[in-house]
Amino acid sequence: MAIVAGIDIGNATTETALARVEGRDITFLATGISPTTGIKGTLQNMSGLRSSLGMALEKAGFKRGQYGAVDVIRLNRAAPVIGDVAMETVTETIVTESTMIGHNPSTPGGVGVGVGTTISFDALSRAAPGDSVIPAVESIHDYAVVASEIAKALERGVNVTAAICQSDDGVLIENRLPSVIPIVDEVSAIERVPLGMRCCVEVAPPGRVVELLANPYDIATLFELSPEETKQIVPVARALVGNRSAVVIRTPLGEVKERRIPAGELYIIGPQGKRTVNVEDGAEAIQNTVVACYPVDNIFGQPGTNVGGMMERVRLTMSDLTGIQIGDVYIRDLLAVDTLVPQKVVGGVAGEFSLESGVALAVMVKTEELPMRKLAAAVSQDLGVKVEVGGVEADMAIRGALTTPGTKPPVAILDLGAGSSDASFMRTDGTVELTHLAGAGNMVNTIIASELGIDSMDLAESIKRNPLCRVESAFHIRQEDGAVRFFNEPIDASAYGRVALLHEGDFLEPLMLNNINVERIRSTRRKAKQEVFVKNSIRALEQVAPGNNVRLVDYVVIVGGSAKDFEVANMVTNALARYGIVAGRGNIRSTEGPRNAVATGLVLSSVQQ
């Protein structure tokens, strides 16, 4: 009788399967899971490995640190591939010569369009009758004073067409004026509003968005722009689309600064030589070129361009992490996804962003054989347990996946992880075809973070993993599918009225994202998953299927951390159903769901050796 621990060190998690082996009988005792520490295959993995194994031991009734109870540890021979993700804008950066305010105060005052010259609030009393002016009001002025001064000026015949306020007083001022003018408030950097310039303020009625200032030709009409100048105002108009209020101020010529950074070309080197594709052509063109170059030998970016810088950064990161010379880092696969990248609009007063088109690139780097034996020796010394390095990861994954009820060879396994999407195909005779592709959970996070403008990858991960809801009252939420849920206890006031993530155990995590509704987040999340996981699943199956024909695969078992996701497996199942494939989330040993396939395979292979 022996206690065997199969331990799978993946890009994101370290999983353990603990079993009692008697002759050819295997009784699984417990499983453990812990985040992988460091890059897989390095000595830094030790701490994650201890914690994963400790968890399994504890669940099996041993003490957490009782590593001596284990007779043999079997490690996976991790695939020597590491994924990385990067993001680049495709559209060029243009600096405009106009100032704009495109933020969305919750309560602007009044309604309509006002055109005039910007003046300071103090200068309002000196404005001459007949002048069309727009005062910029600092927060030191009380709203009642502001309203009475504007009313006095109007009475004197000064044409006060609109106002820009620093404090949240728009409605209060408006309610005290004799006539309706548009007022944009909550402009925190009011001192950056240039004075003495021609300006247009627009506030749309409730429930509507600005029309004039979101249309380049209307802006051209207002400011008498030339066709060239109109071209340069486009980022401003785009940044204002969807806002309820907006301000555009024309500043004098001569301040025009334009800079173009070409997005650049990708050079993909395959068996037939080098092919070139321009990143501006978009994800589809890039992907077609990658397919044409299969199997890819290496990928470079054009030096001096965005994409050139990006590919070098990837190589540098990989070189730093693995200790391989930068010239020996080979990029073997690439997945491109069209996305939106928030670009700061220069000339914005409130830090406005315009969503430029961009491309997210995930790359797969092949490294030297990972030093698993070195790690095994270190683990053995550290824990005082015999350590073996098991078979190839893909073999182990298939062995583990085949414990899913209802499967038999020939079968394909899709292992959707954090760093890479792997596919393997086992023929009836037991031989295995295998591929590793770039793009998985981490790329989905990158796309979500970019499109929603989030800086925290933890938050992006959370958005990826949990369904959304909106807190509609102190006691109920409306979930993203429209269902209403009631709570017995009042929901915390900080979450009231907000979009929130519904974690397991009915824990609500409110999202502090302004002006982003449930539908927008949901569609971003689902699109990212479709583009990465569904596309990659088909791409991967094409590579391992007999004759590269996906239709010749009968069964597909989806495993890996990302298969646990609440919608990814369904999306893939749906997409593969069109090819007549039985596809579904694995259920390792009928109990583990899609997790623990490799660790289970490692234990099983200890008997079959």
Binding to another protein by residue 321, rule CB under 8 A? no
Binding to another protein by residue 518, rule CB under 8 A? no
Question: Which helix (H) or strand (E) segment is 47 a member of?
Answer: helix 46-59
Chain positions 194 to 213 lying near another protein, rule: CB under 8 A, are none
Q: How far is the CB of 203 from another protein (least distance, A)?
A: 14
Q: Taking the CB of residue 63, how many other CB atoms lie within 10 A of it?
A: 11
State the Cα–Cα distance between residues 205 and 419, nearest whole angstrom.
47
- Kindly tell me which residue out of 112, 342, 410, 593 binds another protein, with binding defined by CB under 8 A: 342
Q: How far is the CB of 354 from another protein (least distance, A)?
A: 9
Q: How far is the CB of 439 from another protein (least distance, A)?
A: 20
Which lies closer to another protein via its Cβ, residue 73 or residue 201?
Answer: 201
What SS3 string covers 163-229?
EEECCCCHHHHHCCCCCCCCEECCCCCHHHCCCCCEEEEEECCCCCCCCCCCCHHHHHHHHCCCHHH
Identify the bridge partners of residue 200 per DSSP, sorted by sequence position: 115, 248
State the Cα–Cα distance between residues 108 and 185, nearest whole angstrom.
6
Which lies closer to another protein via its Cβ, residue 269 or residue 392?
Answer: 269
Chain positions 465 to 484 lying near another protein, rule: CB under 8 A, are 472-475
Q: How far is the CB of 147 from another protein (least distance, A)?
A: 10
Helix (H, G, I), strand (E, B) or coil at 391: strand
Q: At what angle do helices 216-223 and 227-240 cross, to 10 degrees?
A: 120
Binding to another protein by residue 176, rule CB under 8 A? yes
Which lies closer to another protein via its Cβ, residue 515 or residue 523?
Answer: 515
- Kindly tell me which residue out of 25, 63, 106, 221 binds another protein, with binding defined by CB under 8 A: 106
Which residue in 338, 340, 361 sits closest to 283, CA to CA? 338
Site size for another protein (CB under 8 A): 70
Helix (H, G, I), strand (E, B) or coil at 469: strand
CA dist list (Å): 330 to 19, 188, 277: 39, 49, 18
Among 277-285, 296-304, 396-404, 435-443, the segment contacting another protein (CB under 8 A): 296-304
Triad 459, 461, 465: Cα angle to 5°: 115
- Kindly tell me which residue out of 166, 420, 442, 524 binds another protein, with binding defined by CB under 8 A: 166
Binding to another protein by residue 276, rule CB under 8 A? no
Chain positions 485 to 504 lying near another protein, rule: CB under 8 A, are 490, 493-494, 496-498
- Kindly tell me which residue out of 58, 168, 338, 509 binds another protein, with binding defined by CB under 8 A: 168
Among 3-11, 284-292, 451-459, 540-548, the segment contacting another protein (CB under 8 A): 451-459
State the Cα–Cα distance between residues 362 and 336, nearest whole angstrom.
7
Q: At what angle do helices 535-544 and 568-577 cross, to 10 degrees?
A: 50
Q: What is the DSSP string of 499-546?
A: EEEE-GGG-EEE---TT--HHHHHHHHHHHHIIIIIHHHHHHHHHHSG
Binding to another protein by residue 171, rule CB under 8 A? yes
Interacting residues toward another protein by CB under 8 A: 89, 93, 95, 102-107, 139, 143, 166-172, 175-176, 186, 188, 261, 267, 269, 273-274, 298, 300, 303-304, 306, 308-309, 312, 315-316, 325-328, 341-344, 346, 350-353, 449-450, 452-455, 472-475, 490, 493-494, 496-498, 510, 512, 514-515
